[in-house]
Amino acid sequence: MAYEFTIMTQEQAENIAFNWHYEGEYSFYDMEADQEDLVEFLNPEERGNSTFAVTKEKALVAFISISKVADRTCEIGLGMRPDLTGKGYGAEFLSAGINFIQTDFKSKKITLSVATFNQRAIHLYRKVGFKDVETFMQDTNGSTYEFLRMEYKC
């Protein structure tokens, strides 16, 4: 069964924000880890029509936020339900996301940023075809972390 992408509801946003908790170093990605991100994620006006709930067989399995940053370039942020991470579902989900973006947003390039400690995600992104662009430091979650910007040319 295919992944379905629909504009995120408030109920789905609250479910992700308060119930999706990652283990160990990946708790960095808990929505509650950064109050500014949490407030933005929970605000329907901030999410607008650019944050999508991803379901498979009617179950919420992931989300993806898509921002147009330039002509035919989209910046994405994404997350998979914690109990599904590290089990080999990432490539299928990410490929479905890329197809959705190409079809609905007519993107020629997709960019994302990932914390450099998250080698599991970086490996997945490279496997699907994302290329490293640059590293940079960013203040988030109460400290400063190194991130890797990556891009995918459609």
Over residues 50-103, the pLDDT tens digits come to: 999 999 999 999 999 999 888 899 999 999 999 999 999 999 999 999 999 999
Q: What would the CATH number be for the domain defined by 3-112?
A: 3.40.630.30
pLDDT at 69: 83
Going from N- to C-terminal start, the domains of the chain cover 3-112
pLDDT at 70: 85
Tokens of 127: 């496997």
pTM for the model: 0.94
Tell me: pLDDT of 40 over 70: yes
Q: Kind and range of the H or E element at 119? A: helix 119-128
C-alpha to C-alpha distances, 90 to 14, 17, 34, 87, 115, nearest whole angstrom: 23, 20, 24, 8, 17
C-alpha to C-alpha distances, 53 to 5, 73, 78, 105, 132, nearest whole angstrom: 6, 21, 10, 16, 27
For residue 17, what are the contacts with CB-CB under 8 A and spacing of at least 6?
Answer: 31, 32, 38, 41, 42
Helix 90-105 to helix 119-128 angle (10° resolution) is 60
pLDDT at 1: 64
